[in-house]
Amino acid sequence: MDAKDILGLPKNSVTQEKKSRPQKDSQRKPDGISREVYALTGGLAPLIPAIEASQLKKRPPSDEKITWQWLPFTNSARKDNLHLYHWVRIVNGVPPTGDYSFAKYNKMWTKEETDQLFELCQSFDLRFIVIADRFPSSRTVEELKDRYYSVARAMLIARAPSPGDISGHPLVKEPYNVSQETERKRALSMVLSQTKQQERKDAEVLAEAKRITESRMVARGAEESELPVPSNAGPESAERAAAIPADTVSPSSNVQQHPSAAVAPSTITVDNASILASLRMLRVYLRTYALDQMVQAASSSAGLRTIKRVEQTLQELGVNLKPRVPTKAVCAEHLELRREILTLLNLQKQLQYKEAEGSSYRDGSYADTPGTPKHLSHGGDQDRTFVPDMSFAGERMGKRDQKRKAPGRLSEAPLPAHKRPRKSKAADL
Amino acid sequence: MSLTTSSRKQGENQPDDGASPAKPPRIKIGKSSEDSDKKGAHRRVKDVEICVPIVYGTIAFYLGRKASESQSHKWTVYVRGATNEDLGVVIKRVVFQLHPSFNNPTRVLESPPFELSECGWGEFEIGISLFFHNDICDKQLDLFHHLKLYPEDESGPQTTKKPVVVESYNEIVYPDPSENFLARVQNHPAVIVPRMPAGFNLPYPVSIESVNEREKGDTKDHPLSQWFMNFSEADELLKLAAARQQVQAHIVKLRRQLSVMDGPPPLSKQPTGYDYT
C-alpha cells in the first residue's frame, strides 16, 4: 500500500479484484458432483483432473443400445472342454469377440510369448532381471528362466546326434529347478530381513550349542584322561544342543578338578546367550528372575569389588538396584546400563594404570618429561571440573597420590606401581 | 462389603486334573477341532513370548477402637493384574501360605479375585504360589511378600483411614507357549502377546471349563482399588535413559583421554603435497 503511495499508483488496482474473485469461486466449485464428495478430495481440484466432472454424470452414450444376454463361453485355459454360461454385455446386437477375459491369467506359454522371450534373451544377453522387467505379460524371473532353460534343454536334446554326446552338458545334467530356486531366494531374503532379535536368538542357540559341545568334550576328555581336542561346533551340533541342554550341567561340574585348563574357563564363564537359551527352556518364569540371571552373567567375570562399585554407581545415578517396574523394556535398559557402567569402570582402571606408569616415570630419574605427567594431572583436574555429578570419578583422581588412612569408598584406588606392587587377581577385573 | 475367602485344609486339596478325561470344548466345530486341540496342546510356538503383568502385595488397616491385642490390624493380601484385568485367564489357583500361628495357614483361592483378608497383629512373610491352567504349564511360581502393618513414618498415632500399602510389580513370562494357550489368550486384556509372525495360524480357541462358572474376576471396581499403586514404566525408562546417556558421555571422554595418553601420532617430516621445495 505504501509502495503504491510512493510510486503514485492508483490504489484500487487489478490485484484487489483478483483477490475477491477466487474467494467466490471456491464457494461454488463443485460441478457435476455433490459438494460433500468434492470435499473428500480435499476441497481443491487436482491440477489434472483424473476424471472429467462431466463424465461422472452421464456415462452411457445415447447412440449405443446396450442389452445383456445369457450366453455360453469356453475358456482356453482349461483342458476339459467345460461349457459354462454367463451374462454378456451386447452393444447394438454385436456380441464381444475374443477369448474368455480371464484366460490370459493362465500360466501357459504360447509360441508368441516364447518367441518374445527368446528375442529379449538375445538382445539382453540372458540378463533375466532386465528381461523380466521388459517382458510384456507379467512373469516372474523364475518362470522366465524356467521356460528359457527347458526350451533350450529340449532343443539341445532334440538336435543332438546321440544322447551320450550332450549328457555332459550342464543344461542336461542339472536342469533348472523352479521350486528350488524360488525357495532359495525366499530363504535368502528372509535371512536378509532377519530382525536383530532373530539374529540374537540364533547367536544364542549357537553359543549354547558351542558351550554344550565343549563341555561334552571336557567330560569325554576327563573320562579318557587325555587332553581334549578343541571341538568344532558345527551346525549339526546346534540341533543336538537344542535337544539336550540340561544334562550337560552335571558332567561339567564333576569335571572341574581336572586339568583341562584350556577348556574349563569357557564352561565356567556363563554367556548371556546361554542364559537366554536356558530361560527359554523353562515353561514359566518371572521377569525379575530373568533379570537377576542376566545381571549375574554380566558380572560373572567381575570381582565382588567391581560389582559393589557398579551398584554404587547406580545409586549415584539415581537408579534403583532392582527396577521398580520390571517390564521387558525396563529390564533390557537396566541390563545395558549395568554393562555400560562395567565398561566405564574398566576404562577408569585402565586410565589409572596408565597414570601410574606415567607417575612412576616422573618420580624416577626422568625429570625432563614435562609433557606427559602435566597432561595427566591436568586431565585429572579437567575430569573433576567437567563432571561434578560423577563424583566417584573425580574423587578417584584427586585421591590418587594421597596416603590412604582408612579404607574408604575408594579403598581400591591403586597407588603408583613402584610404591606397592599390586597383586592382580584374575577375578578382580 | 465383606471380602470372602475360601480356605481349605491342605489335605483336602484335590490333585491336579492331570489324568482327567479331555474336557469337552465349549465351542465345537466338527470332529477335527478336537484333534487339533490335542495337537495344539503339544505344539509349541517358538519366538513368541506371552507376558502377564501382575501386581501383588498387602493393604493393612489399623483397627483403631476395635483393635485388640491379638487383632490390631485388618489386612488383605492379593495378586491382581497390573491393569486390574482378570487373571483367571492364566491363573488357576493361588495358595497363600501364612504364618503358622494362623488357623489353617495354607489358604487356597480357586478363582479370581485372588485375595485373602485376615486380622492380626504381627508382620511376617507371606508365601504366594501361583498355579496355572493345564494348557499352560504344570510348574508353579512362588512369590514372597513381607506383610507390613506399621507405617514408615512413626510420628503420631496410627490412623484407621489410611492403610499401609505395599505392592510389587512383576511379569509372568511364558517363553514358549502351546498353541492352545496362545489361541485362548491372544486377545485377552490381561495378557500381552507380541505380534505374530506373518502367516501364522492358530487353532480355534478352546475355552477352559471354569469360564462359565466365574463371575467378574477383574479388580477394576475392587473396594480397595483406590489404594492400588500405579506402576508406569515410563518414569523408570526415562531415568534409565538419562543414566545411560551420562555413562556413555563419560565413557567417550575417558576413551579420548586414553587415546591421547597413548601418545600423539609421531611428527612426520614426509612431504604432504604442500611442500614446494
**Contact: A280, B51; criterion CB under 8 Å:** no
> Among all residues of chain A, which has the CA nearest to that of B244?
A337
Of A279, A328, A386, the CB nearest to B51: A328
For residue A265, the distance in angstroms to the closest alpha carbon of chain B comes to 29
The better pLDDT of the pair A265, B230 is held by: B230
Q: How high is the pLDDT of residue A317?
A: 93
Of B132, B171, B236, the CB nearest to A286: B171
Q: Which residues of B touch A (CB under 8 A)?
A: 47, 51, 53, 132, 136-139, 141, 143, 169-176, 231-233, 235-237, 239-241, 243-244, 246-248, 250-251, 253-255, 257-258, 260-261
Q: Which amino acid is at B188?
A: H
**Contact: B175, A282; criterion CB under 8 Å:** yes
Q: How high is the pLDDT of residue A286?
A: 95
**Contact: A325, B240; criterion CB under 8 Å:** no
Whether the per-residue pLDDT at B273 is higher than 70: the answer is: no
pLDDT band at B266 (very low <50, low <70, confident <90, very high): low
Q: How high is the pLDDT of residue A139?
A: 85
Contacts of B250 in chain A (CB under 8 A): 344, 387, 390, 393
Contacts of B173 in chain A (CB under 8 A): 284-287, 290
> Among all residues of chain B, which has the CA nearest to that of A197?
B47
Whole-structure pTM value: 0.51
In which residue are the cell numbers 506402576 written? B231
ipTM above 0.90, yes or no: no
**Contact: A354, B173; criterion CB under 8 Å:** no
Q: How high is the pLDDT of residue A275?
A: 86
> Among all residues of chain B, which has the CA nearest to that of A285?
B173
Q: How high is the pLDDT of residue B170?
A: 96
**Contact: A287, B250; criterion CB under 8 Å:** no
Of B141, B173, B236, the CB nearest to A324: B236
Of A201, A284, A287, the CB nearest to B137: A284
- How big is the A-B interface in CB pairs under 8 Å? 123
Q: How high is the pLDDT of residue A404?
A: 46
**Contact: B171, A351; criterion CB under 8 Å:** no
**Contact: A324, B143; criterion CB under 8 Å:** no
**Contact: A351, B255; criterion CB under 8 Å:** no
**Contact: A337, B237; criterion CB under 8 Å:** no
**Contact: B175, A280; criterion CB under 8 Å:** yes
**A21-51 pLDDT per residue, tens:** 444 445 566 677 788 887 887 766 667 767 7
Q: What is the pLDDT along chain A (429 residues), one digit of tens a residue?
A: 677 788 877 666 554 444 444 444 455 666 777 888 878 877 666 677 677 777 777 666 777 888 888 988 888 888 888 889 999 888 887 777 778 888 877 777 889 999 999 999 999 999 999 999 999 888 889 999 999 999 999 999 888 888 888 888 888 888 899 899 999 999 998 888 877 778 888 888 888 888 888 888 877 777 665 544 444 443 444 444 444 444 444 444 443 444 444 444 444 456 778 888 888 888 899 999 999 999 988 888 888 899 999 999 999 999 999 999 999 999 999 999 999 999 999 999 988 888 888 777 666 554 454 444 444 444 444 444 344 344 444 444 444 444 444 444 444 444 444 455 555 544 444
Whether the per-residue pLDDT at B5 is higher than 70: the answer is: no
**Contact: B51, A319; criterion CB under 8 Å:** no
**Contact: A286, B141; criterion CB under 8 Å:** yes
Contacts of B53 in chain A (CB under 8 A): 327
**Contact: B47, A350; criterion CB under 8 Å:** no
